[in-house]
Amino acid sequence: KYPDNGFGPVVETVNDVVQSVHELLDDTSSQSQLYAKRIDSTFPSRDGKASERVIAAIEERLKPIN
């Protein structure tokens, strides 16, 4: 479920959005820290080269097996 594993809060109203954005902008909030941990564990290599890795993996799988 997204509320348990997502990268940000699930909100239903405009006021909730505004409140959540303010909380997330406060880097010291427990919510910000929780989501940062989830992001770091899901995306360990955030170096801007994800597309290159995906393309390399696809090309490797497309090579014929000899």
Where are the chain's structural domains?
A: 2-62
Structure tokens at 18: 């505004």
Look at residue 37 in the predicted model and tell me its pLDDT.
92
pTM of the model: 0.58
pLDDT digit string (tens) for the chain, length 66 residues? 888 889 988 999 999 999 988 888 877 778 788 888 999 999 888 899 999 999 999 999 999 987
Tokens 């909100």 sit at which residue? Answer: 11
Look at residue 43 in the predicted model and tell me its pLDDT.
87
- Cβ atoms of 11 and 17 within 8 Å: the answer is yes
Secondary structure (3-state) at 45:
coil
Look at residue 31 in the predicted model and tell me its pLDDT.
79
